[in-house]
Copies of this chain bind each other. A is one copy, B any other.
Amino acid sequence: MSLDANTSGLFPIAPTPFHPDGRLDEGSIDILVERYLAAGANGVTVLGIMGEAPKLEPDESLQIAARFIDRMGRLPVIIGVSAPGFAAMRSLARSVMDQGAAGVMIAPLPSLRTDDQITGYYRQAVEAIGTDIPFVIQDYPLTLTVQMTPKVIRQIIQENPSCVMLKHEDWPGLEKISALRGFQKDGSLRPISILTGNGGLFLDFEMERGVDGAMKGYAFPEMLGDVVRLQKAGKRDEAHNLFDAHLPLLRYEQQQGVGLAVRKYVLMRRGFIASDTQRKPAAALSAAARAEVDYLLARLALRDARARL
């Protein structure tokens, strides 16, 4: 299925499952996809920062993409193709589209600074991968150190017709969403899908500011999907109640570096993946941290149920 400016809903960011010895665990991909579908996912995003993409060999990346595409059936799969050079980006992008991916996601190089450098980079990237591949802008200043103003994002979208989506991960970022939606209202920006990432710490209000859904790696994707649906149905208080029940854990996951360890641990405890192994370099979870997550999970079970009453 293709990706376009109307794409919405829940797109989990998938981790890459490994066996305890570091080999790819393809069986866990199958289970992960099953669980995502059960949680109401409308698609999935693979090989993002959370997918440990830079730690994979090129053949592995293709193998992982193929497996997800196969298991997701007709649902769209977005593949992260960010790379230091355009040769590798083009190669990966063309290969995964041939495999059946719905589109690709491109983050800016961390060295980009000025508005012109950023817009120029996206022009070159599109020239490299080809104008026929739908792509997603990843706007993640906290990790990438690249700051894109709403005007810069608008320029990228207007200059590149194959841009169909913004993965919004600015922090703080609520005003940015309002500014972009305002551009659409005043006619200076064509329609664009905005899914929001950034750990989901502001999903409750991001929905109210006008995003189309969530693209996040939080280990309870069903909560993300439900908050999206509740907000779209105008059930504001219910959405906040459910969201707030998860906020203590969501917040705990939002620790730079150690966050992925927390997520993989929770996903493993929930049976989404067989092992929480990460490839090096990686931050491990201490015994104290694991106990804290266990405590949060115990509290969460009760509070999630109560919020859904």
Contacts and interface: CB of A to CB of B under 8 A. Distances in A.
A84 B175 contact: no
A286 B114 contact: no
B149 A115 contact: yes
Nearest to A83: B54
A202 B292 CA distance: 11
Given A91-B57, A114-B149, A115-B149, A86 B205 contact: no
Interface string A76-109: 0000000111111001000000000000000001
Task: Work out how many copies of this chain go into the complex.
Answer: 4
B110 A56 contact: no
Contact of A86 (B171, B257, B258, B279): B279
Interface stretch (A129-137, A185-193, A243-251): A243-251
Contacts of A151: 116
A251 B34 CA distance: 32
A121 B298 CA distance: 36
A63 interface: no
A57 B255 CA distance: 33
Contacts of A110: 110
B57 A279 contact: no
A234 interface: no
B289 A175 contact: yes
Interface residues of A, number: 59
A161 interface: no
A74 interface: no
A258 B299 contact: no
A280 B128 contact: yes
A208 B289 CA distance: 11
Nearest to A148: B114
Interface of A: 52, 54-58, 60, 83-88, 91, 109-110, 113-117, 121, 124, 128, 147-149, 151-152, 171-172, 174-175, 178, 201-202, 204-205, 208-209, 240, 244, 247-248, 251-252, 255-259, 279-281, 286, 288-289, 292, 299
